[in-house]
Amino acid sequence: MSRTVLAAALLFVSPVGLVAQSDEPARATQDPQAAYNELVRSFAKAVEAWQDELQAALKKQEEGGPRVPRKAYRPPTKSFIATAQEHAQELAGRDEAVMFLGFILKNASSERNAIKWAVKTLNSDHADSAAIADVVDYLPMAATKGAGRNATKLLGRIAEQHGDAEVRAKALLARAAFKTERGDSSGAIADLKAVQSVSKDEDLLAEAKDLLAEVQKFAIGAVAPEIEGVDTDGVAFKLSDYRGKVVLLDFWGFW
């Protein structure tokens, strides 16, 4: 083979070899679960590399080096979210699409349009599927990253209308945790009690029981947990000593 022909052959095949060795997610059509596993693996590797680079840049900054640009703080999500969206579109209407839609909800950062699209697709194509149980925990996250009302409405639809009792229970747990974070203790308590009447799964019931106890313990109007300490004069005291009085708690420390 002449050098000219050999060079042309290498030029033709080398891009394929480069793609195979790249950290970018594979885009070729393949088994959905294998494609998802590869996407997750590639993403984890890219995030690890990004974190290492960011830490190194921050260390140099502390040592008097250049200031770390704002874009360096952004995780490398764009290409991976695009790949997940492509896979979900290829699998449109099939349950296998749900895991890619969940990947978007869980890992997207600034890709708000992708998040909105994923929520919309879940609502239109998969809201009644048992497969959606695997992504209900990501819906509250999506609500804070651009999907807002649509994500909470979908979560409510699953919690209240899904035909599978265990899927409903998982959605109720996810919604209860979200309500707790938002300070809606009464709403969270209602959802957690509903889990007990809907589900027979021991793990879900135990999770609901533990969260219910925690919410009730710290709900507005509940008795504050006991705190013991020593005042500035060295006199021991307990929080309960001041019951019936207005108490300001100031927590602080050094890090």
Buried b (16+ CB within 10 A) or exposed e, 152-188: bebbeebbeebeeebbbbbbbbbbbbbbbeeebbebb
- Choose between 96 and 252: higher pLDDT: 96
- Choose between 148 and 37: higher pLDDT: 37
Please give the Cα distance from 176 to 124 (Å, whole number): 24
Supply the pLDDT for residue 94. Answer: 96
Supply the pLDDT for residue 181. Answer: 87
pLDDT band for position 45 (50/70/90)?
Answer: very high
Burial class (CB in 10 A: 0-12, 13-18, 19+), 242: exposed
pLDDT digits (tens, 9 = 90+) for 123-180: 999 999 999 999 999 999 999 988 989 999 999 999 999 999 999 999 999 999 999 9
pLDDT digits (tens, 9 = 90+) for 170-213: 999 999 999 998 889 899 999 999 998 999 999 999 999 998 88
Q: In whole numbers, what is the pLDDT of the chain averaged over residues?
A: 86
Q: Is residue 155 a contact partner of residue 167, using CB atoms and an 8 Å limit?
A: no
Interhelix angle 185-198/165-181, nearest 10 degrees: 160
Supply the pLDDT for residue 171. Answer: 96
- Choose between 30 and 20: higher pLDDT: 30
Supply the pLDDT for residue 146. Answer: 84
pLDDT band for position 7 (50/70/90)?
Answer: very low
What is the DSSP secondary-structure string of the chain? --HHHHHHHHHHHHHHHHHHHSSSPP-S---HHHHHHHHHHHHHHHHHHHHHHHHHHHHHHHTT-PPPPGGGGS-S-HHHHHHHHHHHHHTTTSTTHHHHHHHHHHH-SS-HHHHHHHHHHIIIIITTSGGGGGTGGGHHHHIIIIIHHHHHHHHHHHHHH-SSHHHHHHHHHHHHHHHHHTT-HHHHHHHHHHHHHH---HHHHHHHHHHHHHHHHHSTTSPPPP-EEE-TTS-EEEGGGGTTS----------
pLDDT higher than threshold 80 for residue 28: no
Q: Look at 17-21, 79-83, 248-252 and tell me which has the smallest mean pLDDT.
A: 17-21
Supply the pLDDT for residue 22. Answer: 45
pLDDT digits (tens, 9 = 90+) for 83-111: 999 999 999 999 999 999 999 999 999 99
- Choose between 104 and 25: higher pLDDT: 104
Supply the pLDDT for residue 254. Answer: 65
Share above pLDDT 70 across residues of the chain, in percent, rounded to a whole number: 86
Interhelix angle 165-181/202-218, nearest 10 degrees: 20
The domain limits of the chain are 20-129
Supply the pLDDT for residue 215. Answer: 85
